[in-house]
């Protein structure tokens, strides 16, 4: 247990470091992918993982040359060749379908969904997430994601009828102690972003994975987390897993789809109206929440 002023961090030993499949969907923009992969390889102290790149119709010569240099190259999706491999998912962009397909073509008991426009900052990031996914009551774990200017991109997802779902403390300083230092504490949320989300294969299969039919682009991660919550599992945010997130630099996922937002509100009206992990004393902002506006 590590003390931090008035706060304490409980460090959980990893009872069994199960294999984690790090699933990274991508299409071209090889400079983003290369930075992401290199950061994982050079800044990950977790001992048991594989990188699974899911290629969605890349065309640029630089991307194809990069693939040729990676271990094993591009292989048929049904062959399991650890530790790093590439599988193809052709056709229109469907974030949910791409990730569901990748999960079906891996055998790891733990699954990390990771955007190609992320970059690991320190070596403990994956171990810090694994500490919690090994807990039987936990269904998903999210990380602290930072914009390039070192402000918050993601520190958990809050729900409200006004904005459906938003990232807590978005654009706040990374080390802010606002609202009693919630940002710096391990805590439960209703949802976390799949830009960096660790979950268990058995639970992913149990709740049906991501909704590729009706939530192809946005809110699929929120819907998935709410299905886990409905099944009785916790969704955890840890600030001790930190990554840089050059948000939606490659595929433009930063803009929500109004139709998918309406569907989410119809599907989960109760929890969106009354987020059990939100605080009615904190004012909702467009992409944030914080102290009441003055």
Q: Kindly report, residue by residue over 144-166, the tens digit of the pLDDT.
A: 999 999 999 999 999 987 778 98
Q: How big is the chain by its Cα radius of gyration, in Å?
A: 18
Quick: pLDDT tens for 224-273.
999 999 999 999 999 999 999 997 544 444 456 789 999 999 999 999 99
Which stretch of 11-15, 26-30, 167-171, 237-241 has the lowest confidence by average pLDDT?
167-171
Q: Determine which helix (DSSP H) or strand (DSSP E) holds 179, and give its type and residue range.
A: helix 178-181
Asked if residue 9 is part of any domain, the answer here is no
Three-class secondary structure of residue 154 per DSSP: strand
Asked if residue 153 is part of any domain, the answer here is yes
Which tokens go with 180?
Answer: 């009693």
CATH number for position 24: 3.90.550.10
Asked if residue 73 is part of any domain, the answer here is yes
Asked if residue 135 is part of any domain, the answer here is yes
As for how many domains the chain has, the answer is 1
Q: What is the pLDDT of residue 262?
A: 94
Q: Pick the closest to residue 249 from 70, 119, 126 (CA basis).
A: 119
> HSE of 26 in the Cβ direction (CA atoms, 13 Å)?
32
Kindly give the residue spans of alpha helices, DSSP state H, lying in 55-105.
61-69, 95-104
pTM over 0.85: yes
**Rounded CA gap, 60 and 78, in Å?**
25
For 86, the domain range is 17-278
Q: Which is it for the CA torsion 280, 283, 284, 289, positive or negative?
A: negative
Q: How far is CA 123 from CA 112, 143, 247, in A?
A: 16, 13, 21
Asked if residue 86 is part of any domain, the answer here is yes
Nearest 5°: CA angle at 9, between 8 and 13? Answer: 145
Peptide bond before 83: cis, by omega within 30 degrees of 0? Answer: yes
**Rounded CA gap, 264 and 222, in Å?**
9
């Amino acid at each position: 247990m590590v003390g931090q002023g008035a706060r304490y961090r409980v460090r959980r030993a990893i009872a069994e470091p199960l294999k984690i499949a790090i699933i990274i969907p991508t299409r071209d923009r090889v400079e983003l992918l290369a930075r992401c992969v290199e950061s994982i390889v050079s800044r990950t102290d977790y001992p048991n993982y594989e990188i699974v790149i899911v290629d969605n119709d890349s065309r640029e010569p630089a991307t194809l040359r990069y693939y040729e240099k990676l271990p094993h190259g591009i292989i048929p999706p049904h062959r399991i060749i650890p530790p790093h491999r590439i599988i193809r998912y052709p056709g229109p962009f469907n974030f949910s379908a791409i990730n569901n397909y990748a999960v079906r073509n891996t055998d790891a008991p733990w699954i990390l969904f990771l955007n190609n426009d992320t970059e690991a900052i320190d070596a403990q990031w994956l171990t810090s997430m694994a500490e919690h996914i090994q807990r039987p009551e936990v269904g998903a774990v999210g990380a602290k994601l930072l914009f390039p200017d070192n402000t918050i991109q993601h520190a958990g997802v809050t729900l409200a009828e006004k904005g459906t779902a938003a990232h807590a403390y978005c654009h706040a300083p990374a080390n802010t102690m606002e609202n009693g230092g919630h940002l710096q504490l391990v805590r439960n949320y209703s949802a976390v972003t799949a830009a960096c989300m660790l979950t268990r294969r058995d639970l992913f299969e149990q709740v049906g994975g991501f909704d590729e039919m009706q939530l192809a682009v946005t809110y699929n991660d929120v819907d998935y987390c709410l299905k886990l919550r409905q099944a009785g599992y916790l969704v955890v945010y840890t600030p001790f897993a930190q990554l840089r997130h050059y948000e939606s630099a490659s595929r433009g996922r930063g803009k929500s789809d109004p139709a998918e937002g309406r569907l989410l509100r119809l599907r989960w009206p109760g929890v969106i109206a009354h987020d059990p992990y939100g605080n009615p004393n904190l004012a909702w902002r467009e992409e944030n929440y914080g102290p009441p506006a003055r």
